Amino acid sequence: MSDEMLPVGLDDPMGFNCAPENPCFNECCRDLNQALTPYDILRMKTALGISSGKFLREYTSLQHGPESGLPVITFKPNPATGHACPLVSEDGCTVYGDRPASCRMYPLARAIARDRETGKIREFFAMIEEDHCEGFDKKHTITVRRWLEGQDVAEHNRQNDKLMELISLKNQIRPGKLEGADSDLFYLALYDLDEFRAQIQTQGLLEDLDIPGSLMEKIGADDYALLDFGIAWVKYMLFGRDFKVDI
């Protein structure tokens, strides 16, 4: 089986089973070049009980998209472990309940398109067949839909689609490369949430905005509300959109 991607539908059969007894167990957690979303990072840093800053320093690397200039966060590579994920052990993922969306989806890949008239998101899926994976087994046939339900990926997709919408807006409004302070602002508000909150509370980061006290209290206590707030703030600061946040 060679590495390839095969389009599949939600009701297509999916002969796949990943389990510790598979000879390839954990191999998909090696040789990674895996982009992490803000929601991925929020879930994992919360599971580990550490700040976003510490998570980013200890577990990730920062690059920038060569065309977009947008931050791209990946797991920090370690050649000594075959570039294994820093959160994998011999027994599997140490943050399994809060693992990234791409890990939940595997061996599927997902793409989306938004209908310009209705605004509704359409999903497209493909099966990733890689040489190292021995989990493809016709005895465990279920549908793609059932596999996704079992991986509890719906909320991850919903949250990550907010990032895709933001990137699409950036490409429309500012199709060139985001650089310097603007790229730093994007990184701060979406990825380093604890530092974002600290700057709001101690450096008057929002002093030019009339933010209701109830909303300030909520983003001071709720990381998920803060992430939504950060997305709205980036739209306002970088792309000239009215400041609207529904939290």
The total number of structural domains that make up the chain: 2
Report d(CA 136, CA 142) in Å as an integer. Answer: 12
Residue 151 near residue 105 (C-beta atoms within 8 A): yes
Residue 2: the pLDDT is 43
- Residue 194, pLDDT score: 98
Domain boundary among 130, 157, 184: 157
Is residue 205 in some structural domain? yes
Structural domain contains residue 85:
yes
149 lies in the same domain as 85: yes
Domain boundary (157, 188, 214) is at 157
Residue 138 has a pLDDT of 62
**Co-location of 187 and 86 in the same domain:** no
Residue-wise pLDDT tens digits, 10-60: 999 988 888 888 888 888 888 777 899 999 999 999 999 999 999 999 999
Residue 167 lies in a domain: no
Rounded distance, CA 115 to CA 97, Å?
32
Q: What pLDDT was estimated at residue 140?
A: 66
187 neighbors 71 (Cβ within 8 angstroms): yes
Does residue 150 fall inside a structural domain?
Answer: yes
Give this prediction's pTM.
0.92
| Residue 175 to residue 68: CA distance in whole angstroms | 7
Domain contains 168: no
What pLDDT score does 229 carry?
97
Which residue numbers in the chain have pLDDT < 70? Answer: 1-3, 138, 140
Residues 225 and 125 in one domain: no
